[in-house]
Amino acid sequence: MKATCLIADDEPFAVQLLQKHITDSGLLVLSGTCSTALEVSAFLNEKRVDLLFLDIEMPKISGIELLKILKDPPAVIITTAYREYAIQGYEFEIIDYLLKPITFERFLAAIEKFNRRRRNQIQSPTQAEEKAEKYIKVKSGVKIYQLNQDDILYLESSKDFVQINLTNGKKLLIKYKLGQLENELATNFLRIHKSFIVNKNRVTVFYSTHLELDKIILPIGSSYRPKVERIFEN
């Protein structure tokens, strides 16, 4: 069954482009469009959708402010012309962050992420546990590496590259975005900074500003701190 979606954007051209992408892809069913955050809230009170395409700059209430007040939001893909909201967006565990004008190729990549997360959520607990134990495949040049996720200590981004630090001391540098890997890793991995993802099972000491993986000290970004504190304090 195709997933249902809602477009929230006050720019007619942006709405038309998303509508075209949705139609051309054949992967989603469009349930409606809204031009303000208040319309979105009212719509979702009446009808449930699987995915929300959410603009940030909207009249009166921004997309980010809307995410703060929605009690049970659907999966969210942010669509915006502004890069600076990316970190805020990922605090709400969004699927993806698309910069306008959105190309069809980039749109399809975001829908693939959404479908992958959706498949994972409907797995049985046993299947989810088995998935967490399995390997992750990453490509570097012509090579494809298959890594046991338990062997990953932490990941560090640097521009267009990610360094994967393994528990045996080895390091693997690959051309990836950290956000790409974040969506593919098991639930025992946690984003603590715009540049770092850690294996929660390997954390030995936690402070409000940083944490330790044995002798390795990594900073906790201020925008990530509330979620990190909530996880480790509980």
Residues 24 and 116 in one domain: yes
Does residue 127 belong to any structural domain of this protein?
no
Give the per-residue SS3 of 144-194. Answer: EEEEEHHHEEEEEEECCEEEEEECCCCEEEECCCHHHHHHHCCCCEEEEEC
Of 121, 152, 167, which closes a domain? 121
Question: CB atoms < 10 A from the CB of 106, how many?
Answer: 14
Residue 105 CA to residue 127 CA, distance in Å, equals: 30
Assigned domain for 126 exists: no
Least confident of 30-34, 90-94, 99-103, 170-174: 90-94
| Per-residue pLDDT reduced to its tens digit, 152-163 | 999 999 888 999
Query: Could you tell me the pTM of the whole model?
Result: 0.54
Residue from 212, 136, 121 nearest 176 by CA: 136
Q: What pLDDT, on the 0 to 100 scale, is given for residue 88?
A: 60
| Domain encompassing residue 47 | 3-121
Q: Tokens 């997309």: give the residue.
A: 63
Question: Do residues 188 and 214 both lie within one domain?
Answer: yes
